Structure 1
Amino acid sequence: MPTVEETVRDGNILFKINSIVGSQPETFQADENEKLAALEAFLGFLRLQGKETKALRVARVLAEDTRERLNEGKALVAYNSVNVAEMAEHPVAPERATAWLAKIWSNLEERLEERETGIQDVARQAGLSIYAWPRKTLGAGGAGNNSTYDIEFLKLPASDAEPTALAPGSIAYVQDLTLKPAFWLRRLIRTGFALKGWRRIAFLVYGIGGPAVVGTLLVLLWLALTTQSARIPTGDIVTLVFFAAIVGLLGFAFLSPFWRLIDLRIIMAPDLLLSLRERGVQLEASKEPAGDGRHVRVIRLVRYSGRCPKCGETVHLYDGRREFPGRLVGKCDEHPAEHVYSFDRFTKTGSPLR
């Protein structure tokens, strides 16, 4: 357990962390420069998230205060809920701070867990061996034994892809995992759809059986038009042609993403799969370790984004359409017509296309 020394700041208790020993093997000891770089990478990732929520604000102020203390050569501290509320500039009575932060911290843990891969990617692209992570340490209970909050530094896990040195003007992308799917798909794909067992069979049935169903419906409509002995009224012909067009369009809309995903491994996610709050989301079929020495293809909703090297705004991926057929390209949110970049899913980098 950490050696703890109490200090006081503005009348509130902070906890000075002197050392961390082997009971927390995931926590990694690094020099101050690397910790500062990890904090900068973490803050850079938070800026990519767009609108700042209360949960992300708490993470940001913890990281910024930790960075400030390191820059001033001060010891790192853990904060109680009152401290965090003050740093986040949230007006809440001291006796209600714990309840306020408990709800926000639960949301923060969920959001960061979904985006841990992206946080690791940013740190890895910066050439670091650690990444910053907000931590809650549960108190023993009772007066003066409240939970505390701080930033810890964790060792980066091994990665198949080594960081790629960026050429001048190039962009580095980071990934958000487990974005919110549409409500009707949430249980099925929330944590990824691994193509093994019944899921693999269902995926193949959808991809192969879907065209068969659409083809059968079109054949039935064609037979209805061509095998009648009596002359078919013009209105009925128009109705049958209309239904045939609807069947064909729906079949293409639902089945085209399947075949494009098989071919390209990553495509823009159809809107039907997404929550209304999500934008710029991709559907990716990535190869991941299965735990038995083999690999399994897992379909996930992901989002790649980066910081535009020209203007500093956020870059999101879009379908390349006719100009860049079969490709996803990164477009700057502020200058989408001019600041355009390629996208390499393996290296998570891109070069200027304009």
Structure 2
Amino acid sequence: MTSCVGNEASLASTGNQKQLPTVEETVQDGNILLKINNIDSGQPQILQANENERLAALDAFLGFLKLQGKETKALRVARGLAEHTRKRLNEGKALVVYNSVNVAEMAEQPVTPERATAWLAKIWSNLEERLEERETGIQDFARQAGLSIYAWPRKTSGAGGAGNNSTYAIEFLKLPSANAHSPEIAPGGVAYVQDLTLKPAFWLKPLIRTGFALKGWRRVAFLVYGFGGLAVIGALFVLLWLALTTQSARIPSGDIATLILFAAVVGWLGFAFLSPFWRLIDLRIIMAPDLLLSLRERGVQLEAAKEPAGDGQHVRVIRLVRYSARCPKCGEAVHLYNGRREFPGRLVGKCDEHPAEHVYSFDRFTKTGSPLR
């Protein structure tokens, strides 16, 4: 059974940008599909892109999702929306918005129609958080593909009541202007995208959730941690040396062994806690210590990036980031690792599927890499 009725629904956009598209409601097997007939082109951020641009933006969005590793329910919802939208465009059909039952089917979620709205409400909240954290990477991925738009899942909240449920769709937003032109990628090279993980360990969230800017008391605390820690470790070693050299005749051999073991533990702890501090100052980006991360995160970097401050100056901001790329040889994800002995002092990109053979350099400024093997 199919029926068509003129209707209007609001399609939510970033901030307070909204528009009222004219839609045509179609009921198929109990599922509501809202065909978009017209969208107000007066909104600067919502673009009337042609079919090829939209398809390319969807491909870029799906490619970015593939880099995220293990797929969560939230990312599966985003992928389902993007794939279904791409399918309609490939078939020459008009774009539509969907209800919660439609989206649950796209995500292959075995949930009854009565529970679909409650299930999706929780999942969508998580999706919005994850996408907000990764919007920079989504934009970079689309920009590297030569696009001026990017795909973005959007929820339009309903007014409530029967027939006024929330709807979901993929919309296409204009890419913000970049500070520099995208650099050329070397033959066989990769283009990295940065996605902010913002999933630090629970004890670190109050400090680094939005970045740790090295100014004011934060700069003092950072320096005290590094230099103060070094002074404490040095003082402990001096005390141990004095104890061993000035009272060696009166200290039992068992106690001497204990003091030496204690010195080794102090040295190891000092290296573990202070080494990242000095390497970050020297290299500006390092692999993040596991102590700083949530258990769910992997392949994360700790970066001290120079960013403009409000007074026209620049300030270093320490934050957790992750750089990834798509391997041009096999299409799998490439993540950064320590170069270790083979590439000392460097981060290198290794393919998840062939890490021993598909290895690439990493340039934080250009976000590109050349083959190393």
Shorter-chain TM range is: over 0.9
Please state if 1:32 is matched with 2:51. Answer: yes
One of 340, 350, 353 as aligned partner of 2:369:
350
Pairwise CA distance, 1:25: 3.6
Please state if 1:188 is matched with 2:207. Answer: yes
Matched with 1:56 is 75
| Change beyond 3 A, Cα 1:23–1:195 | farther
Pairwise CA distance, 1:262: 0.8
**Mapping 1:277-296, distance limit 5 Å:** 277-296=296-315
SS at match of 1:144: coil
More displaced stretch, 164-173 vs 222-231: 222-231
**Mapping 1:222-241, distance limit 5 Å:** 222-228=241-247, 230-241=249-260
| Change beyond 3 A, Cα 1:229–1:281 | closer
Indicate if the aligned counterparts of 1:341 and 1:351 stay in contact, CA closer than 8 A.
yes
One of 33, 49, 61 as aligned partner of 1:14:
33
Indicate if the aligned counterparts of 1:178 and 1:190 stay in contact, CA closer than 8 A.
no
Please state if 1:250 is matched with 2:297. Answer: no
One of 94, 118, 131 as aligned partner of 2:150:
131
Matched with 2:180 is 161
Matched with 2:352 is 333
Separation (CA, whole Å) in 2 of partners of 1:312 and 1:87: 24
Indicate if the aligned counterparts of 1:257 and 1:270 stay in contact, CA closer than 8 A.
yes
More displaced stretch, 181-190 vs 319-328: 181-190
Pairwise CA distance, 1:24: 4.6
Pairwise CA distance, 1:195: 1.3
Output the amino acid matched with 1:340: V
Matched with 1:68 is 87
Separation (CA, whole Å) in 2 of partners of 1:216 and 1:172: 47
Output the amino acid matched with 2:215: K
Indicate if the aligned counterparts of 1:207 and 1:258 stay in contact, CA closer than 8 A.
yes
Indicate if the aligned counterparts of 2:41 and 2:48 stay in contact, CA closer than 8 A.
no
One of 222, 231, 238 as aligned partner of 1:219:
238
Pairwise CA distance, 1:45: 0.5
More displaced stretch, 249-258 vs 16-25: 16-25
CA distances 1:322-349 after superposition (whole Å, capped 9, x unpaired): 1111110011122111111000111111
Unaligned segments of structure 1, at least 5 residues: none
More displaced stretch, 187-196 vs 15-24: 15-24
Matched with 1:103 is 122
Pairwise CA distance, 1:137: 0.5
SS at match of 2:154: strand
CA distances 1:275-310 after superposition (whole Å, capped 9, x unpaired): 222111111111223344333211111111111111
| Change beyond 3 A, Cα 1:177–1:29 | same
Separation (CA, whole Å) in 1 of partners of 2:241 and 2:180: 52
CA distances 1:89-116 after superposition (whole Å, capped 9, x unpaired): 2222212111011011011111111111
More displaced stretch, 151-160 vs 56-65: 151-160
SS at match of 1:30: coil
Pairwise CA distance, 1:127: 0.7
CA distances 1:215-248 after superposition (whole Å, capped 9, x unpaired): 1111111111122285321111111111111111
Matched with 2:101 is 82
Matched with 2:140 is 121
Indicate if the aligned counterparts of 1:2 and 1:17 stay in contact, CA closer than 8 A.
yes
Task: Give identity over the alignment, percent.
Answer: 85
Matched with 1:301 is 320
Output the amino acid matched with 1:112: L
Matched with 2:8 is none
Separation (CA, whole Å) in 2 of partners of 1:297 and 1:201: 13
Indicate if the aligned counterparts of 1:82 and 1:97 stay in contact, CA closer than 8 A.
yes
Separation (CA, whole Å) in 2 of partners of 1:280 and 1:229: 48
Output the amino acid matched with 1:103: K
Output the amino acid matched with 1:313: E
Q: TM-score, normalised by structure 2?
A: 0.91
| Change beyond 3 A, Cα 1:80–1:292 | farther
SS at match of 1:166: coil
One of 182, 191, 203 as aligned partner of 1:172:
191
CA distances 1:106-151 after superposition (whole Å, capped 9, x unpaired): 1111111111111111001101111100000111111101110001
Please state if 1:276 is matched with 2:295. Answer: yes
Aligned residues: 354
Indicate if the aligned counterparts of 1:178 and 1:191 stay in contact, CA closer than 8 A.
no
Aligned residues: CA RMSD: 1.6
Pairwise CA distance, 1:169: 0.8
Separation (CA, whole Å) in 2 of partners of 1:333 and 1:189: 28
Output the amino acid matched with 1:246: V
